[in-house]
A and B are shown apart, each in its own frame.
Chain A
Amino acid sequence: MVNWEELPREILEFIARRLSIEDFLAFRGVCTSWRSTAAKETYDTKSKTPWLMIYADNQRAEFRSPTTGRIYPMQVPGSHVRTLSAPGWILASQGDREYHIFNPLSRVGIELPALTKLRRKSRLRVQLDGPKRLQCRHPRINRIALSSGPSSTRSYVVMIHIHQSLGPLGFAFHRSGEDAWTAVSPAIYLRRSTILQLIYYDGLFVALAANKQIMTFNKRNHLMESRLILGQNIFEGHPYLVEYSGSLLAAWTMWGEGNGPVKKIRVFKVDLEKGTEEEVMSLGNASLFLNGNSSFSVEFNAESCLLGVKRNHVYFIDNIDEKKKSYRMDNGEVETYFDATSCHDYAAAWFQPDFSAFL
């Protein structure tokens, strides 16, 4: 008679690593020995089928788990919700004020400083002479990125791009533990540019402006520096910045004639050092999930649990017909992945649930 409780630790770890979040948590509830082999930190959300956030309003968000088909309603601190690049975290805001970074599974939340607490640090002077209030009316966060998910062992940096009633204001950042934002001095020619994408990649905050310029944030002198201009050949598409296997990609969803649904996606690998871009024809054993605020990639390997996800595909949300679709890189086929046209369209986003949130 076999005793499954006494399987060697490393085997139980192997098994646990292959489980979706619901099954991983059930595994942790079986018995003490199984629980000890499935530590929260070992759950790798990046190798699991993402959830879909399908609703966000009235301080509530609903997430759909594709593996079980179940929908999980969760309370969130705000009615406007965006997913963040740090897996498991969302940004919730109540009417453009009171922004919270929040993990809906662990229900850990962090309130961000009010946008009116914005300091400008002069490049020329070393000493700040008191926080200077910038004149801005109704500031709101247009784009946001985190250097990492909040945890008790690590500090993190939040970078945002602020819009106000008169248009784009500029970038600012905040380090965990600080009580205000520090403004970033943009180059003059960027001052009024709409920022389409802002992500954290390879230790850098990378932004993409509407004029297709890619900039990175220089931590030392607090300036945004231009690196290259993208997509010279692409005129009718929406760009997404996403990390894939250590590289930075720019994926363009190109809409059809007469602004019809997306008919093609082109992907380019961006080299920040050289200031070049190169088209990518295949994602190999990986797939991309594109979100307005935070796109990500998943990789297929022996331990991944990617049911329902196909490799070498790009999963996106078509803003024209609100459907969640997949695009096959090798032959350009577009298929509907999930048709929930009743979703609030700004709420729809791919989400990677993660509960290992410590404060």
Chain B
Amino acid sequence: MSSPPSASASSSPPPCPKKMITLRSSDGATFEIEETAALQSKTLENMIHENCASTLIPVPNITGEVLARVVEFCSKHAEAGVDDESLGAWDEEFVAVDHTTLFDYIRAANFLEIPTLLDLGCQTVADMIKGKTPDEIKKTFKITTACTPEEEEEVRGENQWAFE
């Protein structure tokens, strides 16, 4: 079913709400997602427009486990009639996961260019950093490298005002 052509020449046809796209993860699992939900990803949007005949899109960088959740996120955010408060609560639950999973979400959001998921992921990390000293941050994120001695000296200078 296609909508009538619009008077002005537009490069992309309006999405048909029920059209399903299939995504295939790096480990071969497939997931169905509505086209409107998929358009939340700029990467997928480009692929859909370039590859209009086929409805199977390979997503080689993302495992099935993570892709399933990303599909869930996009579908939820494409839903009509969800108020800001309940969506916010849903988002909060979505990112209440272990660090490994959060890291995967952020990387997937970056690769697929999903601004809402990237914002959510980065804000969650920012909240984890809040109020911590550099050492505490390193512990939280299990970071083993450090600043060079010159940098450490600069860090001390930058933070002096807080310890006057």
Chain A interface (Cβ within 8 Å of chain B)? 1-2, 4-5, 7-8, 10-11, 14-15, 18-20, 22-23, 25-35, 68, 72-75, 104-105, 107, 302, 305, 355
8 A-B pairs closest in CB distance: A29-B134, A4-B141, A18-B126, A29-B155, A2-B103, A31-B145, A14-B122, A105-B161
The answer to whether residues A33 and B145 also contact, given A22-B162, A27-B137, A104-B161 and a CB cut-off of 8 A, is yes
| Cα–Cα distance between A340 and B164 once the two chains are bound (Å) | 22
28 A-B pairs whose Cβ atoms sit less than 8 Å apart in the complex: A1-B142, A2-B99, A2-B100, A2-B103, A4-B103, A8-B107, A10-B110, A11-B122, A15-B122, A15-B126, A19-B126, A19-B129, A20-B130, A22-B131, A22-B162, A26-B132, A26-B133, A28-B155, A29-B134, A29-B147, A31-B138, A32-B145, A33-B145, A35-B147, A35-B151, A72-B162, A73-B164, A302-B119
Contact-residue size bin, chain B (C-beta under 8 Å from the other chain):
35 or more
The answer to whether residues A23 and B145 also contact, given A2-B99, A75-B164 and a CB cut-off of 8 A, is no
B81-109 contacts to A, CB under 8 A, are 99-100, 103-104, 106-107
- When distances are taken between beta carbons in the complex, the residues of chain B under 8 Å from A75 are 164
| Cα–Cα distance between A335 and B144 once the two chains are bound (Å) | 47
Residues B126 and A11 in contact, CB atoms below 8 Å apart: no
| Cα–Cα distance between A355 and B133 once the two chains are bound (Å) | 18
- When distances are taken between beta carbons in the complex, the residues of chain B under 8 Å from A32 are 145-148, 151
Residue ID in chain B nearest A27 by CB atoms = B129
B10 at the binding interface (Cβ < 8 Å): no
Per-position 1/0 for B134-164, Cβ under 8 A of A: 1001100111111110011001001111101
Residues B130 and A23 in contact, CB atoms below 8 Å apart: yes
- Among candidates B145, B147, B159, residue contacting A25 with C-beta atoms closer than 8 Å: B159
Residues A5 and B145 in contact, CB atoms below 8 Å apart: yes
B78 at the binding interface (Cβ < 8 Å): no
B56 at the binding interface (Cβ < 8 Å): no
- When distances are taken between beta carbons in the complex, the residues of chain B under 8 Å from A355 are 158, 161
| Cα–Cα distance between A33 and B141 once the two chains are bound (Å) | 14
- When distances are taken between beta carbons in the complex, the residues of chain B under 8 Å from A5 are 143-145
| Cα–Cα distance between A349 and B160 once the two chains are bound (Å) | 23
- B137 CB to nearest A CB, Å: 5
The prevalent SS among residues of A at the interface is mixed
B125 at the binding interface (Cβ < 8 Å): yes
- When distances are taken between beta carbons in the complex, the residues of chain A under 8 Å from B131 are 22-23, 68
| Cα–Cα distance between A305 and B127 once the two chains are bound (Å) | 10
Residue ID in chain B nearest A40 by CB atoms = B158
The answer to whether residues A26 and B145 also contact, given A2-B99, A4-B103 and a CB cut-off of 8 A, is no
- When distances are taken between beta carbons in the complex, the residues of chain A under 8 Å from B125 are 15
Residue ID in chain B nearest A19 by CB atoms = B126
Residues B143 and A25 in contact, CB atoms below 8 Å apart: no
Residue ID in chain A nearest B140 by CB atoms = A4
- A258 CB to nearest B CB, Å: 42
- When distances are taken between beta carbons in the complex, the residues of chain A under 8 Å from B115 are 302
- B123 CB to nearest A CB, Å: 6
- When distances are taken between beta carbons in the complex, the residues of chain B under 8 Å from A18 are 122-123, 126
The answer to whether residues A30 and B134 also contact, given A4-B143, A15-B129, A74-B161 and a CB cut-off of 8 A, is yes
- When distances are taken between beta carbons in the complex, the residues of chain B under 8 Å from A35 are 147, 151
Residues B138 and A30 in contact, CB atoms below 8 Å apart: yes
B39 at the binding interface (Cβ < 8 Å): no
- When distances are taken between beta carbons in the complex, the residues of chain B under 8 Å from A72 are 161-162, 164
Residue ID in chain B nearest A29 by CB atoms = B134
Residues A30 and B122 in contact, CB atoms below 8 Å apart: no
- Among candidates B118, B134, B144, residue contacting A26 with C-beta atoms closer than 8 Å: B134
